[in-house]
A and B are shown apart, each in its own frame.
Chain A
Amino acid sequence: MQLTNRSKVVSNKEMTAAESAYLPAVLKGMAVTLKHFFRRPATVKYPEETREFSEVYRGKHVLKRDENGAERCTACGLCAVACPAEAITMVADERKKGEEHLYREEKYAAIYEINMLRCIFCGLCEEACPKEAIFLTKEITPSSYEREDFIYGKDILVEGVEADKRIDISKRQDR
């Protein structure tokens, strides 16, 4: 089977006189590099430019709120079970009276942490979630000098209440 038409059969035959003079091959190689010299760079200047992402790119996670602004997560732990990298930990707590506008169900995650160094961005957590609470977004996890900075708590993961801080995940729902 041939995947590309560029494969070449390698042999150990003696070089012909033209080949052992090297110069034709050298000039051919220099023609190749000169062609690349005038080609557009294949790289992007990262912080200023970013590559176009797929609509369903799997980046940093978001914990969604419902239409009233209450957190959807009910701390069932299915995401943590589904996670092949064991990156998710959570501590559940019971909703008190008067917190109905904060948490959708009677149980909620008091602590919800994802270790971004362990996460492999497979998206199994969002498939496991019965409450449509966790989704992966197009955002990239920023770099840091400290390992501790990569344990993302609820302060980073939960989306804002205000309409303009909500994160659109409709593309990932349509899939």
Chain B
Amino acid sequence: METIFLIDKTVIAFIAFAITLLIATYSTYAERKIAAFMQDRVGPDRAGPFGILQPLADAGKFFFKEEIIPDTSNKFLFIIGPGIAMLTALMTSVVIPWGGSLNFAGRDIPLQVADLNIGVLYVFAVVSLGVYGIMIGGWASNNKYSLLGAVRASSQMISYELSMGLALIALIMITGTLSMKEIVEQQHGMNWNIFYQPLGFLLFIICAFAECNRTPFDLPECEAELVGGYHTEYSSMKLGFYMFAEYINMFISSAFMASLYFGGYNFPFMDSLGLSQNAITIIGVFVFFLKIFFFIFVFMWVRWTLPRFRYDQLMRLGWQWMIPLSLLNVFITGLVLLWYDK
């Protein structure tokens, strides 16, 4: 029993890992295509039909590029930086419930690597480690632009993590659980949390943009001022790792938004279709990925619409708007809960 359980989990972990990497790879392609369409261009279309092999060509290019490690850098930290960024980006996918459970030869296999009872808290712990990859990489480069980018990244992430956490606290007050699986299951039958927490969701998605260093909060990279920010000195696949970690973060945070606020793998009329449990689960996985893709599209849509915030505007928005608003959200949620308890 124990070995079968381990095999199940290993297989699911590997599949989740592979899918995460695949989607992160093709996000780069999607980003370039969406950018092109929004600017009335065609986008990459040379590698394969519709340029579908472009991400592979990019990855190949990254591997063959010359590896430059600055002479004055702290070599150990310089090398470990992109690794940390990648590791923390990938670790969060553990608690995402990708689907219901598959009934396989009399055994229920839940499509989730680990159903931690503190799933949301775990995500927070790992996400807040994510800043170390950027901070260490930027600091170890021994370059003032990298350092500025890293300082910006860390202060931005710390500021926006607060209101992100507060937005989630309101959600947890409603759900009464920290387990991702239970939160998703409570949203069964169009009982989505977005209807109960619209303000919370708005705060969460804005904070997610900031946490992923995406436009309009991409000040850590900021090509215009910081020549690339924290990864100025990076080249070859190390640069690729940073870029890749950004896209993985984007995918994971889309998955979180979909599962926390938009019902995860639940879809309307899933009980009245009269399908077997396995079929429902498989459709649910597809629905979940559709939701994720929608949010990835929103990420890119916003990126190619909005200009970058100025740094003081970013800080003012974070501390003077986001945090009071999320506190207000917590307060209102508490009042409403008290009212209904009575």
CA distance A111 to B304 in the complex (A): 54
CA distance A45 to B36 in the complex (A): 13
Residue of A nearest to B37 (CB): A37
Which of A24-32, A50-58, A122-130, A148-156 lies on the face that meets chain B? A24-32
Which of B34, B36, B37, B302 is A30 in contact with, Cβ under 8 Å?
B302
CA distance A141 to B101 in the complex (A): 64
Contact partners of B34 in chain A: CB under 8 A: 37
Residue of B nearest to A21 (CB): B321
The reply to whether A33 and B41 form a contact with Cβ atoms under 8 Å apart is no
Q: How many residues of B contact A (CB 8 A)?
A: 14
Which of A26, A39, A45 is B40 in contact with, Cβ under 8 Å?
A39
| Interface presence of A41 (CB below 8 A) | yes
The reply to whether A45 and B301 form a contact with Cβ atoms under 8 Å apart is no
With A26-B306, A29-B306: A41-B301 Cβ-Cβ less than 8 Å = no
Question: Per-position contact with A for B141-183: 1 when CB-CB < 8 Å, else 0?
Answer: 0000000000000000000000000000000000000000000
Question: Per-position contact with A for B16-42: 1 when CB-CB < 8 Å, else 0?
Answer: 000000000000000000101111111
Contact partners of B302 in chain A: CB under 8 A: 26, 30
| Interface presence of A11 (CB below 8 A) | no
The reply to whether B301 and A34 form a contact with Cβ atoms under 8 Å apart is yes
| Interface presence of B108 (CB below 8 A) | no
Tell me the minimal C-beta distance from A36 to chain B in angstroms.
5
Tell me the minimal C-beta distance from A110 to chain B in angstroms.
44
Residue of B nearest to A45 (CB): B42
CA distance A86 to B306 in the complex (A): 47
The reply to whether A43 and B301 form a contact with Cβ atoms under 8 Å apart is no
Question: Per-position contact with B for A57-95: 1 when CB-CB < 8 Å, else 0?
Answer: 000000000000000000000000000000000000000
> From residue 149 to 170 of chain A, which have CB atoms closer than 8 A to chain B?
none
| Interface presence of B67 (CB below 8 A) | no
| Interface presence of B45 (CB below 8 A) | yes
Tell me the minimal C-beta distance from A14 to chain B in angstroms.
15
The reply to whether B41 and A41 form a contact with Cβ atoms under 8 Å apart is yes
Give the interface centre of B34, B38, B45, B301 by most chain A CB atoms within 10 Å: B38
The reply to whether A32 and B42 form a contact with Cβ atoms under 8 Å apart is no
The reply to whether B41 and A43 form a contact with Cβ atoms under 8 Å apart is yes
Contact partners of A41 in chain B: CB under 8 A: 36-37, 40-42
CA distance A43 to B40 in the complex (A): 7
CA distance A34 to B39 in the complex (A): 10
Binding site for B on A (CB under 8 A): 26, 29-30, 32-34, 36-43, 45
Binding site for A on B (CB under 8 A): 34, 36-42, 45, 301-302, 304-306
In the complex, the 7 A-B pairs of residues with the closest C-beta atoms, listed nearest first: A42-B40, A33-B305, A33-B38, A29-B305, A37-B37, A41-B42, A30-B305
8 new A-B contacts at CB < 8 Å, known A30-B301, A36-B38, A41-B42: A33-B38, A33-B301, A34-B38, A36-B37, A37-B38, A43-B40, A43-B42, A45-B45
